Structure 1
Amino acid sequence: MMDHGKITDYLDAYSAYMEIETMKLFDGAIDSLEVHHCVHLFSCSNCLHEEMIEIQE
């Protein structure tokens, strides 16, 4: 699967330029700020499956 980066980068045209700590309030993971996880978007180029996966910072 290919990593496309932070899921919050896809919220709008300017979200990629916002503070990471602020955007973690909108990433869909309740405790990502406290446990130092970052939610990334992964996809498979063969079957086009997409998945959000929490990774350790």
Structure 2
Amino acid sequence: MGMCPICNGFRNVTLPCASCSGSMENSGREADFYDDYSPYMPIDQMKLEDGYPADYAEEECPHLFKCPSCGASQVFLIKE
């Protein structure tokens, strides 16, 4: 099992917004937004249920990024 460099604070990532070219900011793991208890579920279990078929096998962590300028959001898979 890999370790996500963003979740573990090893790296910060800002990505360009496809809508306005601003800087998107990390809002956390996408699975944390599913319901009130999802942040407390085991990460590997959530990966099996999150709708991204390759994230578990490829050791990727889906993160939600949001643009503070225009409000656009997008999920990026971060390599663990």
TM-based fold match above 0.5: yes
The ranges of structure 1 where at least 4 consecutive aligned residues each deviate by more than 2 angstroms after the TM superposition are none
Aligned position for 1:38: 61
Q: When the two structures are superposed, what TM-score results if normalisation uses the length of structure 1? A: 0.93
Name the stretch that deviates more: 22-31 or 34-43: 22-31
Which structure's relative contact order is higher, taking Cα pairs within 8 Å and 6+ residues apart? 1
Q: Which runs of 5+ in 2 are unaligned?
A: 1-23
2:42 to 4, 11, 19: 19
Ranges in structure 1 where 5+ consecutive residues have no aligned partner: none
The root-mean-square deviation of aligned C-alpha atoms, in Å, is: 0.8
Q: TM-score, normalised by structure 2?
A: 0.68
